[in-house]
Structure 1
């Protein structure tokens, strides 16, 4: 084959690689503390090199501390006015991957102080928000244009648990749908319970108490975030105060305890600040973040019976890894370090589960959450 044709073919292949590698977007939320500064950031992820390149950002919104995406990727929903006294809201933004713009749509009151976690139903018509400080949950209809409507339900919880400094009352820390989206689970750090509600999509008020209405966690453990295995048979709850992951069997709205395993190595005995938990798309590995003195990601292999086996620990290269995310291919893990104000990309070894830093440090002040989406 003539050299000219060979070079032409190479250029075409490289063009396709570049096109493929530049359609994955990464959305970062933060505690910006000031509406005049950037709050939400959008980056492109080079899926060949693992490099992040800034695309756009949004000002005019206060403390967009946690983000989630609509199922079709058109909208970004954020917990806003988090850690703002006597305030709290949830906000909607439209994202257009063609012009790479993020545009504010509207906001609604969160129904409680300090919203910390928001999740969307698979049909895109519902949004459920959890408020930490006042221990409550709000349910919102969402229109086809991404506009959040006023809440149709709000549930307030009061009881606390055994730690008077941290558990004086209920503190809802996440809102997680079941694999079939027919139940919602609410880890309550303040009450040491994983609350559960039945979700009926066609009703005007879709939530009703499940049976049983909660699963009791270990007292003083502080359940925080929950994730389900891709096979739908197991659930994993990370406990902020206990520094552990509790493993549950799952069936028709019920959680049955299987195992509880530390997220920290033996050299750490106290002051746990475990935060986030995710499973690789292949269902073979679980990752859990530790803040505080550890600042690492604990890595576990998932056995056939759902139980976990410790593989190792990966330092996050910063302080206070609050939230992290795994891309849909399972190739990359992106970690946000809130205190050091930076984010890092790690390449994941699909066989061992281990992580290796790639790319450069991305500096984002008080970065607190991340979502990844390929368009």
Structure 2
């Protein structure tokens, strides 16, 4: 299978912004992989070529047919891709977890093997920097599952299953644990597990080589009713940025992992109204590759809130990224830092936005149709 490399013509906004974050002169095309909810408009994982010099997206082509591969993770070697399947799989206790080999020349994904998430409703997956340990967040089951990753990229044995318990103040959404995200630090020594239902982030010490993790995690307690969903860490693990799905906030957490001390030092609204609104919820948190900006997607309000990172790690609201956005889920910033690709779940599209030095972005003419896109991941093209 060869991916169609036709591209859309960029508008003048993108061209004007192209020098704001200049990539290396030899920056070549990369693949953009899209995780989706399957149905009438989607059959699985899609791939598009992406040119970081011009910000142009190629026409998406089905790279692997699989049921609701909502969230993806890329192996640090860029040779393998992993996906969770949110729907229940016959004979499984939970949903599916899939390992694929990536053909860097064509974008094709070849399934290596699959596993059982054990907990219901797997919604997110991450892999440690060494490529040896895979964490899965099971939203419906309120749990996390850990797999070894073999040298050939296949899913190995199950290393751990962590079932959480408890509630918080929102009786409609926090009646039970709802684990939403797992993220490794840059050194691969800790994994942060975010639970919306418990208003808690668990911090596990991990040893990917030995395939072990701490029995009892350290706990970061978020303000009641926050509903923490996703997390981004600064490069030295001293600050975490956590979006509150339920109260529409961007939260700054000071981290002292060695001492086991954590403090929420700031909570800012992500919406212009300054307060939660019925039908609104946040989805994704991203730290710009240059470490100077934090972004949070707003569903319902249909924007991406932008914040500047100040010297002490706290945030300053600088505005909102808007346009033809409908239910923005995950979004991603390409390695050059010039472009933001926003997955519009209910808009059935992925659009390229041109970032400028202010940290804000404007839509370009590069927009492709993808059914119910949820996740965007980048892999160098071969």
Shared fold, TM over 0.5: yes
Rate the CA distance shift 1:169–1:63 in 2: closer, same or farther, 3 A: same
Rate the CA distance shift 1:150–1:231 in 2: closer, same or farther, 3 A: closer
Paired positions, count: 353
Deviations 1:114-143 (A, max 9, x none): 111100011111101010001010110111
Partner secondary structure for residue 140 of structure 1: strand
**Post-superposition offset of 1:60:** 3.5
Q: Distance in 2 between matches of 1:33 and 1:63?
A: 8
Structure 2 residue ranges without an equivalent (≥5)? 1-22
Which position in structure 2 is the counterpart of 1:7? none
**Post-superposition offset of 1:317:** 1.4
Which position in structure 2 is the counterpart of 1:276? 284
Bigger Rg over Cα? 1
Partner secondary structure for residue 149 of structure 1: strand
Of 337, 340, 347, which aligns to 2:354?
Answer: 347
**Post-superposition offset of 1:314:** 1.0
**Post-superposition offset of 1:228:** 0.7
**Post-superposition offset of 1:296:** 0.3
Q: Distance in 1 between matches of 2:165 and 2:319?
A: 38
Which position in structure 2 is the counterpart of 1:359? 365
Of 120, 125, 129, which aligns to 2:132?
Answer: 125
Tell whether 2:61 aligns with 1:61. no
* C-alpha RMSD of the superposition: 2.1
Tell whether 2:38 aligns with 1:32. yes
Q: Distance in 1 between matches of 2:213 and 2:228?
A: 24
Q: Is the 8 A contact 2:132 2:209 kept in 1?
A: no
Q: Is the 8 A contact 1:139 1:152 kept in 2?
A: yes
Rate the CA distance shift 1:135–1:267 in 2: closer, same or farther, 3 A: closer
Which position in structure 1 is the counterpart of 2:239? 234
Structure 1 residue ranges without an equivalent (≥5)? 1-16
Which position in structure 1 is the counterpart of 2:54? 49
Of 355, 358, 374, which aligns to 1:368?
Answer: 374
Q: Is the 8 A contact 2:137 2:145 kept in 1?
A: yes
Q: Distance in 2 between matches of 1:231 and 1:363?
A: 38
Q: How does 1:1-375 map to 2 (within 5 A)?
A: 20=26, 22-33=28-39, 38-54=43-59, 56-82=61-87, 87-210=94-217, 213-252=218-257, 254=260, 255-266=262-273, 269-271=276-278, 272-292=280-300, 294-349=301-356, 351-375=357-381
Higher RCO (C-alpha under 8 Å, 6+ residues apart):
2
Q: Distance in 2 between matches of 1:124 and 1:267?
A: 40
Q: Distance in 1 between matches of 2:354 and 2:88?
A: 33
